[in-house]
């Protein structure tokens, strides 16, 4: 399987030497489940798209510091491309910004949440166990860094997992789009470094709470398995 990574941001320059760019994080995560996977990266933030939708088997949209409602010249074309993927029923996964963008592009709504920033390890409860999921869990935990949230589902969307902080944390749209608010590609050391780097922006109390949460388990490998099961169905 070849996965096209739609890259919507760059890792902070202070962290990239140690942790790599987002496509590398996703490749490491997913190859832990299947070393034979191939990847192509498309810098959609700079207007780079595949020549043909079918030059890869599936797509993955990364996270970004941008908001889907921002007036950046690359966001509207990306929404158009997501609508093309949807029309073609192309298997697609969205992470954080990608999760929010899929919802927004297909008729839902994403907003800056009045709950503020989510940082560190968050836990979600499954609301529905889809038939494609071979290793279901009642709850799972992942790393997060977000203040925007999906607030209205797009047509054909359903909530697979939620939390009190993030009611629409894992969504499926029809049979070909799956998205997560959290970051299965993040490692705890990366999350720790990111929180430290942005301590002033996040606030001391929230960063301390987020750092303490890193003691909790995360289930990135289970979620990676879910992602590949969904893309291969």
Span 108-144, pLDDT tens digits:
999 999 999 999 999 999 999 999 999 999 999 999 9
In this predicted structure, the answer to whether residue 169 has a pLDDT above a threshold of 90 is yes
pLDDT at 71: 92
Helix and strand counts by DSSP (H, E) for the chain: 8, 11
What gap in Å lies between CA 61 and CA 50, rounded to an integer?
13
Which residues constitute the domain of residue 44? 2-232
Q: What is the mean pLDDT of residues 161-189?
A: 98
- Total domains, the chain: 1
Residue 96 pLDDT class (50, 70, 90 cuts): very high
- Contact between 179 and 102 under an 8 Å Cβ cutoff? The reply is yes
In this predicted structure, the answer to whether residue 145 has a pLDDT above a threshold of 90 is yes
* β-bridge partners, 110: 150
Could you tell me the pTM of the whole model? 0.97
What gap in Å lies between CA 191 and CA 194, rounded to an integer?
5
What gap in Å lies between CA 99 and CA 84, rounded to an integer?
16
* β-strand pairing of 157-162 with 170-173: antiparallel
- Contact between 11 and 21 under an 8 Å Cβ cutoff? The reply is yes
pLDDT at 41: 98
Residue 233 pLDDT class (50, 70, 90 cuts): confident
Which residues are annotated as catalytic?
96, 183, 185
Q: What is the mean pLDDT of residues 61-75?
A: 97
The CATH number for 203's domain is 3.40.50.880
């Amino acid at each position: 399987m070849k996965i096209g990574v739609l890259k919507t941001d760059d890792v902070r320059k202070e962290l990239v030497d140690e942790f790599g760019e987002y496509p590398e994080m996703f490749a490491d995560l997913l190859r832990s489940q299947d070393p034979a996977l191939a990847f192509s990266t498309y810098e959609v933030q700079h207007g780079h798209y595949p020549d043909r939708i079918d030059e890869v088997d599936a797509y993955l949209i990364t996270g970004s510091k941008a908001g889907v409602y921002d007036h950046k010249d690359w966001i509207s074309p990306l929404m158009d491309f997501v609508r093309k993927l949807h029309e073609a029923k192309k298997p697609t996964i969205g992470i954080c910004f990608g999760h929010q963008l899929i919802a927004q592009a297909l008729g839902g709504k994403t907003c800056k949440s009045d709950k503020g920033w989510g940082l560190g390890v968050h836990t979600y409860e499954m609301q529905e166990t889809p038939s494609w999921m071979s290793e279901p869990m009642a709850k799972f935990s992942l790393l997060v860094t977000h203040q925007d949230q999906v607030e209205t589902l797009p047509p054909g969307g359903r909530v697979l997992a939620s939390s009190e902080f993030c009611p629409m944390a894992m969504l499926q749209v029809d049979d070909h789009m799956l998205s997560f608010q959290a970051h299965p590609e993040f490692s705890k050391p990366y999350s720790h470094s990111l929180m430290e780097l942005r301590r002033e922006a996040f606030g001391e109390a929230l960063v301390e709470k987020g750092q303490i949460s890193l003691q909790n388990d995360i289930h990135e490998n289970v979620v990676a398995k879910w992602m590949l099961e969904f893309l291969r169905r």
